[in-house]
Amino acid sequence: MKTFTCLGMGLLAAFAGWTSSTAAAGSFAARTQVVEDGPQRRMIVLTDMEADQDDAQSLVRLMLYANEVDIEGLVATTSTHMRHELHPETIRRILDAYAKVQPNLIKHDRRYPAAAKIFGLISTGQPDYGMAAIGTGKDTSGSNAIVRALESPDPRPLWVTVWGGPNTLAQALLTLKAIHSAAETSRLLAKLRVATISDQDDSGAWIRRTFPNLFYVVSPGEYGRATAASRRTYTGARVSLWRWRDDFQNDFAARIGWTTLPYEKANHPPLVRLAGPDRLTVHSDEVFTLSAEGTTDPDGDSLSYLWFNYTEAGTLKAAIPTIGAENIFHMSFKAPAVSKPETAHFILRVTDKGAPPLTRYKRVVVTILPN
Ligand SMILES: [Ca+2]
Ligand SMILES: [Ca+2]
């Protein structure tokens, strides 16, 4: 079972972060035929809207990233916190607000979709809790939307992000299994990526048990933890997002500006280019150079660079220091002596001098071979 734990509270932000993860973007682009510079990810949201205010906040945030991801469904669902109600009208109210600002958003990025298109993607699950509400004949507009999206010939992965209970997804999987052969079901499910905020009904465990090969990100039973800023060093799965927080909050702030400001009055992120490949193989003791020459900013802002070895992501756990200053556009490193092939991930962080300052990243994965 591919189950990952992650910080529930930051799930949406993490998703936004993955959107700009160039390593992943590069590999998707290589094996799919996506419209040039169009969104590389598809997404369906299951939300227990109105169980609390956070899903309304998340949807506002998501709509400001609707240029980065193809939204293919917004499904009102139940959860353990709201077992017998659905509130699609709140989704509509937020989209009413999006409809007002979309004509200005497209001045900043033409990929923001027309509001009418998103209105057409609203659907609902069963107005009841968990596994008791799923079974033969219990399909809903929400579960049908998931089935259709998986059956579509679109080769891009389909993310289903679950902000409430996942029983609408459980219904879709049950139906998919009933109407397709085992082989076809496996083929369609290989496109599915599920990210849930905890287990907010009893269907999450059923899904993972019944479909053990599913790509399923979950933080069982541990959501709702608050985070705090300080100068202490922390380690652990729940702090993994902190490092990027200023950057994604500034990014959100800039997009709020895009809702009303003309292009010249707003900030736009740097366009980071790597001068070389994002996968590199070197030998022990070899000196190698990474370069982002050619990086620009659409507003003409000056840029600051920071290269660092992201040790959490590679097999090599000891950090590789830079040779010289780490804050220029090209950087050299000396590969350590290794006794077996190891990987080291290097992140380039580029921040502009606009207001608010905006940051984009590139990742280079270096494989180090023994001599
Ligand atoms: Ca929720
Ligand atoms: Ca800029």
For residue 5, the CA-to-ligand 1 centroid distance in Å is 18
Q: 210 phi and psi, to 5 degrees?
A: -80, -30
User: What is the Cα–Cα distance from 356 to 254, expressed in whole angstroms?
Assistant: 6
- pLDDT tens, the chain, 371 aa long: 333 333 333 333 333 333 333 333 333 333 333 334 678 899 999 999 999 999 999 999 999 999 999 999 999 999 999 999 999 999 999 999 999 999 999 999 999 999 999 999 999 999 999 999 999 999 999 999 999 999 999 999 999 999 999 999 999 999 999 999 999 999 999 999 999 998 999 999 999 999 999 999 987 654 444 344 455 666 666 677 888 999 999 999 999 999 999 999 999 999 999 999 999 999 999 999 999 999 999 999 999 999 999 998 999 999 998 888 878 899 999 999 999 999 999 999 999 999 999 999 999 999 999 99
Calculate the alpha carbon distances from 289 to 23, 325, 335, 351, 361 in Å.
18, 13, 11, 21, 17
Answer left, alpha or beta for residue 137, where phi above 0 means left and psi between -120 and 50 means alpha: left
Ligand 2 centroid – CA 215 distance (Å) = 36
Counting ligands in written order, the one closest to the CA of 301 is 2
- How many A from CA of 297 to the centre of ligand 2? 5
Identify the burial level of 61 via C-beta atoms within 10 angstroms of its C-beta, where 0-12 means exposed, 13-18 middle and 19 or more buried.
middle
Classify strands 215-217 and 2-4 as parallel, antiparallel or unpaired: parallel
The pLDDT value given to residue 237: 62
Pairing mode, strands 215-217 and 122-124: unpaired
The alpha carbon of 263 and the centre of ligand 2 are apart by a number of angstroms equal to 11
Instruction: Return all residues near 187 (Cβ < 8 A) that are at least 6 apart.
Output: none
Estimate the crossing angle of helix 11-19 against helix 54-63, to 10 degrees: 10
Buried b (16+ CB within 10 A) or exposed e, 309-345: bbeeebebeeebebeeeeeebebebebeebeeebebb
The per-residue pLDDT for 3 is 38
Neighbours of ion ligand 1 (CB under 5 A): 48, 55, 163-164
CA distance 176 to 168: 12
What is the CA(123)–ligand 1 centre distance, in A?
A: 16
Cα 324 to ligand 1 centroid, rounded to whole Å: 47
In three-state secondary structure terms, 115 is helix
Q: List helix spans (H) across the chain.
A: 11-19, 22-31, 54-63, 88-108, 115-119, 141-151, 167-179, 182-189, 203-210, 245-258
Give the orientation angle of helix 245-258 with respect to helix 11-19, to 10 degrees.
80
The one-letter amino acid code at 27 reads S
| All domains in the chain, ordered by first residue | 2-217 (3.90.245.10), 268-369 (2.60.40.10)
Give the closest ligand to the alpha carbon of residue 302.
Answer: 2
Residue 241: its pLDDT value, please?
80
- Could you tell me the strand order of the sheet in which 279-283 lies? 279-283, 359-369, 342-352, 303-309
Residues 170 and 134 sit within 8 Å (Cβ to Cβ): yes
Measured from the alpha carbon of residue 80, the closest ligand is 1
**Ligand sitting nearest the alpha carbon of 304:** 2
Residues with CB in 5 Å of ion ligand 2: 267-268, 297, 299, 301, 352, 354
Name the residue with tokens 């000056």.
Answer: 302
Asked if residue 359 lies in contact with residue 247, where contact means CB atoms within 8 angstroms, the answer is yes
- For ligand 2, the distance from its centroid to the CA atom of residue 351, given in whole angstroms, is 8
* β partners of residue 288: 333
Q: Give me 93's structure tokens.
A: 């109210």
**Residue 290 token pair:** 């990474």
The DSSP string of 307-327 is: EEE-TTTSS--SPPPEES-SS
CB 102 within 8 A of CB 114: yes
- pLDDT value, residue 37: 65
Whose CA is closest to 127, among 163, 77, 174, 161? 77
